[in-house]
Amino acid sequence: MSGPAPDGSDVLVVVPTYDERESLPGLVRRLLDTLPGLRILVVDDGSPDGTGALAETMAAVDPRVGVHHHAPRAGLGAAYVDAFCRVLDGGLDADGIGWIVQMDADGSHAPEELPRLLAAADEADVVIGSRYVRGGATEGWPAHRRLLSRAGNVYSRRLLGLSLHDVTGGFRCFRRAALAELGMATVASQGYCFQVDVAFRVQRAGLRVREVPITFVEREHGESKMSGAVVREALWRITSWGVRDQVRRRRARPRRR
């Protein structure tokens, strides 16, 4: 099994944006300095601060940068689903792409750590940049944010029977053929529970997964998109998935005479 090309020429990095005008140029520059051959797809969610227009300007001067304008304020999960489905269908200039990376636009995920994720992809279908394996860390988070993240991971893992350590993280690398097995068109998660939804699908599909330690850094610009509505959506969806999965498992057990 072969992994991505050393220069990233068969890698597409999908970056969803909403009001990331200040952070996007630095992220794109760091990505291309790290792996000059990769391509970047900015998926803008109708940013009122002009992020989409800025991305178009960047794309006009560098063919490695592409832009897809998503339905305004449809949510993180919906932006990823739209982009992934279009790429898998051969759209959005995805010729020659064998690996698809997702990462945040706010600088929380360091582009300099991407080569380690891609190196681990030699023997995996999915590689997850994990804050919660040995060597992983978070920097700049207040105590309540660390507690919320830890609690969300523990709740999701136990309820859904997941063996992964970081099921809510958003720095991931997918083999294109593996991503196609996950049924992205049926994903309905709009907020951050999209990450849990995909992790659940990855495990149920029996894909080979590796977790690579990363350091997650609190954003320097803009405001977090985390809100009460996002948390409520995640709690409701994850609970409903867990209940359905437990019912399915019970029905699958052989009955005793």
Q: Is residue 210 scored above 60 in pLDDT?
A: yes
Q: How does pLDDT run across 163-183, given as a tens digit for each residue?
A: 999 998 999 999 999 999 998
156 vs 191, higher pLDDT? 156
How far is the C-alpha of 69 from the C-alpha of 84, rounded, in Å?
Answer: 13
Cα 170 from Cα 5, distance rounded (Å): 22
**What whole-number distance in Å separates Cα of residue 117 and Cα of residue 140?**
23
- The confidence score (pLDDT) of residue 121 equals 92
- Cα 207 from Cα 90, distance rounded (Å): 22
Share of the chain above pLDDT 70, in %: 83
Does the pTM of the predicted model rise above 0.95? no
pLDDT of 89 reads: 84
- Please tell me the predicted confidence (pLDDT) of residue 2: 74
More confident residue, 228 or 53: 53
Confidence of residue 188 (pLDDT cuts 50, 70, 90): confident
| Percent of residues, the chain, with pLDDT higher than 90 | 49
Q: Give pLDDT, residue 187.
A: 83
pLDDT at 223 over 70: no
Side chain identity at residue 8, one-letter code: G
Instruction: Give all domains of the chain, ordered by start, each with its CATH number.
Output: 11-251 (3.90.550.10)
Which tens digit of pLDDT belongs to each residue from 18-37? 999 999 999 999 999 999 99
Residue 135 pLDDT: 94
Q: What is the pLDDT of residues 88-105, one digit of tens each?
A: 887 666 778 999 999 999
- Mean residue pLDDT across the chain: 86
Q: Are the CB atoms for 153 and 43 separated by under 8 Å?
A: no
201-209 mean pLDDT: 93
Give 3-state DSSP helix, strand, coil % of the chain, rounded to 5: 45, 15, 40
At residue 77 the predicted structure's pLDDT band, cuts being 50, 70 and 90, is: confident
